[in-house]
């Protein structure tokens, strides 16, 4: 199907919405939409509906991340910002297959004709979401559905011939994640609650990294499932000829095996890299003015503008990352270099010898909360440490010390956001967290 050119103006935007409904707009960044979604979630909590999902009647094909590389309308119009210098036939085939599962077909395709138009289409896709947010009020399109029982859910997942890509020999996906992540070729994207919940701290990094390393697949809004649902999905998948049996290897064998030469090359690179530079991406900076927040599992940014990006993310995502960082850190003259993916992990590990890591920073945050609690509640230092760890979701302070560097980056960012919200409300954010914790404990 040929990609046509489109006049990207207000008249075209309004005409698109007159002729069809936007099924893919991203509403989660809008304050009004998010507040209403939180209201519904709170009502579910009061009714003890633990397995309820908030879904949209209109945005039934909302992608998992903003901004999406395409928008689709119910009348069959697809608009994308795929790289015009590459063959996008496979990507379009996957989207077409996904849409077919939901009863839609592509009739017209519009997108950039050259590299100069790429960012223009990218902005237009965001304008579509903005326009849709204004057009579709949350009270009219958001509602609550109960998670169906396990048997009904599993049968529905396969009823139209869907393939569980994470358990399939037809997809090039690391099967070691199949116990906690399930991706179907209809775009359905499920994550294990147990896996996603790290002592009450949501770990969004792994699912996001998973989606960024598989950009050729279509990911719809992620949903969280109980652990036993994944067992049932895997059991059902065994009955199909596309099923890939689980490899019987040890946990150690599942890790990436690097040669001595790889390790030596990485070590030499580290020696040149850490030469008076300070890493400023050990925690997640708040990208307030950015439409796209890159994943910190994919890059390392230094205070002199040195930007290392994992080769695994590809050219398109790499350009997004670079443009987003430059948009926020306007004072930096970026020096971009693509490196092997394992370099990123090595660098963050090496940083611990040079400066404070996110893990160190987060543990210090917990200790600061403990000092505050000790003073306010007149309790011992040990009691305050244990209480501080429990407030942020850990079983005890010892468990808090086990937080990974990766999870700590997101935990620090979350804590910063909570602190800003409390300050705006004129609250003591530590005592606010303490009161919330005590309210949760009293309900158990």
**pLDDT tens digits for 253-288?**
334 445 667 777 777 787 788 778 888 888 765 544
| Greater model confidence, 442 or 221 | 221
Spatial separation of the C-alpha atoms in residues 441 and 393, rounded to whole Å:
12
| Greater model confidence, 175 or 336 | 336
Spatial separation of the C-alpha atoms in residues 400 and 371, rounded to whole Å:
16
Report whether pLDDT(190) > 70. yes
pLDDT at 21: 95
- 89-139 pLDDT, tens digit per residue, is 888 998 999 999 999 999 999 999 987 888 899 899 999 999 999 899 999
- Residue 400, token pair as written in the block: 């808090």
- Residue 309, token pair as written in the block: 């990006």
- 281-296 pLDDT, tens digit per residue, is 887 655 444 434 455 6
Find the radius of gyration of the CA atoms of the chain: 23
| Greater model confidence, 218 or 20 | 20
pLDDT at 421: 84
pLDDT at 372: 94
**What number is the average pLDDT over the span 414-427?**
83
Residue tagged 């910002």 (tokens): 81
Nearest-5° angle of CA 284, CA 289, CA 291? 85
What number of other Cβ atoms are within 10 A of residue 31's Cβ? 8
Nearest-5° angle of CA 435, CA 437, CA 443? 105
Lateral strand order in the sheet of 108-110: 3-4, 108-110, 77-80, 70-72
pLDDT at 153: 94
What number of other Cβ atoms are within 10 A of residue 141's Cβ? 20
Distances (CA, A) of 152 to 48, 222, 227, 233, 327: 21, 19, 16, 11, 47
**What number is the average pLDDT over the span 396-420?**
81
**What number is the average pLDDT over the span 372-385?**
93
């Amino acid at each position: 199907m040929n990609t046509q050119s489109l006049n990207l103006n207000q008249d075209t935007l309004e005409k698109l919405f007159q002729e069809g409904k936007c099924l893919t707009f991203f509403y989660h960044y809008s304050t009004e939409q998010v507040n209403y979604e939180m209201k519904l979630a709170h009502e579910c909590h009061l009714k003890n509906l633990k397995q309820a999902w908030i879904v949209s009647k209109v945005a039934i094909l909302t992608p998992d991340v903003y901004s999406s590389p395409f928008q689709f309308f119910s009348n069959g119009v697809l608009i994308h910002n795929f790289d015009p210098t590459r063959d996008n036939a496979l990507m379009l085939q996957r989207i077409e297959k996904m849409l077919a599962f939901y009863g839609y077909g592509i009739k017209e395709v519009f997108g950039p004709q050259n590299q100069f138009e790429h960012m223009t289409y990218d902005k237009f896709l965001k304008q579509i979401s903005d326009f849709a947010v204004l057009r579709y009020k949350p009270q009219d399109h958001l509602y609550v559905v109960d998670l169906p029982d396990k048997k009904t859910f599993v049968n529905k997942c396969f009823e139209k011939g869907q393939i569980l890509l994470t358990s399939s020999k037809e997809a090039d996906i690391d099967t070691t994640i199949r116990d906690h992540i399930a991706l179907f070729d209809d775009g359905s994207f499920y994550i294990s609650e147990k896996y996603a919940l790290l002592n009450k701290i949501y770990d969004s990094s792994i699912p996001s990294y998973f989606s960024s390393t598989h950009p050729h697949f279509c990911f719809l809004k992620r949903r969280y499932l109980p652990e036993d649902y994944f067992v049932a999905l895997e059991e059902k998948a065994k009955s199909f000829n596309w099923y890939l049996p689980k490899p019987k290897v040890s946990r150690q064998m599942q890790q990436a095996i690097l040669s001595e030469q790889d390790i030596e090359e990485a070590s030499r690179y580290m020696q040149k890299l850490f030469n008076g530079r300070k890493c400023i991406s050990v925690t997640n900076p708040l990208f307030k003015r950015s439409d796209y927040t890159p994943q910190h599992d994919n890059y390392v940014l230094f205070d002199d503008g040195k930007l290392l990006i994992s080769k695994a993310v590809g050219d398109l995502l790499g350009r997004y990352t670079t443009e987003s960082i430059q948009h926020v850190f306007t004072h930096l003259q970026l020096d971009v270099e693509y490196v092997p993916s394992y370099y990123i992990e090595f660098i963050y590990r090496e940083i611990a010898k040079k400066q404070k890591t996110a893990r160190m920073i987060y543990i210090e945050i917990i200790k600061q909360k403990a000092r505050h609690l000790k003073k306010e509640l007149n309790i011992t230092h040990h009691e305050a440490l244990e209480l501080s760890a429990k407030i942020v979701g850990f079983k005890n302070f010892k468990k808090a010390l086990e937080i990974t560097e990766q999870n700590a980056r997101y935990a620090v960012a979350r804590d910063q956001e909570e602190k800003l919200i409390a300050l705006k409300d004129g609250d003591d954010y530590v005592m606010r967290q303490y009161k919330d914790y005590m309210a949760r404990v009293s309900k158990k």
